[in-house]
Amino acid sequence: MMMGVEGKIVIGSLKGNVYGVGKDLVAAVLESAGFKVVDLGVDVSPEAFVDSAVEEKADVIAISISTDESIPLLKGVMEILRKRNLRNAIKVVVGGKAVSEKTRKEYGVDAYARDARDCVKKIQALLARA
């Protein structure tokens, strides 16, 4: 494990997602890897993700998406970040059974994580580059 990469992560399940088991597991693994984690819970709007990230001075927004209907809302998160000129300051990672590497590319997200351990690796890599 890489040491010295500290970061603050806002995590939540995107609007329309009411189950948080996967997200809770990822949050716990991120915390054990040394990250500060702010868990927004489930059914979180794009605005709430960005507002919380700004308020918390987070480096990364981690979004869990387990229902196909919620995927288009990812566009909202990315657009709000761009409108507020935060796109370079705040990285976005997605995970969950409804998303893939294809989703990441389609929406211009920084990273896609297959599972909790992969999420830690992807965030470490993003923050090391920042």
Three-state DSSP at 92 gives strand
* Domains located in the chain, CATH noted: 8-129 (3.40.50.280)
Using 50, 70 and 90 to split pLDDT, how confident is the model at 2?
A: very low
| pTM of the model as a whole | 0.95
Which CB contacts under 8 angstroms, 24+ apart, belong to 96-101? 96/13, 96/17, 96/22, 96/23, 96/63, 96/64, 96/65, 96/66, 97/22, 97/66, 98/65, 98/66, 98/67, 98/68, 98/70, 98/71, 99/65, 99/71, 99/74
| Strand-by-strand arrangement of the 111-113 sheet | 36-39, 8-13, 60-64, 91-95, 111-113
Which tens digits make up the pLDDT trace of 106-128?
A: 999 999 999 999 999 999 999 99
Using 50, 70 and 90 to split pLDDT, how confident is the model at 102?
A: very high
Using 50, 70 and 90 to split pLDDT, how confident is the model at 130?
A: confident
Which tens digits make up the pLDDT trace of 53-76?
A: 999 999 999 999 999 999 999 999
Query: What is the per-residue pLDDT for 61?
Result: 98
Using 50, 70 and 90 to split pLDDT, how confident is the model at 129?
A: confident
Give, in order, the Cα–Cα distances in Å from 92 to each of 43, 53, 88. 17, 11, 10
Strand partners, 111: 93
Query: What is the per-residue pLDDT for 5?
Result: 56
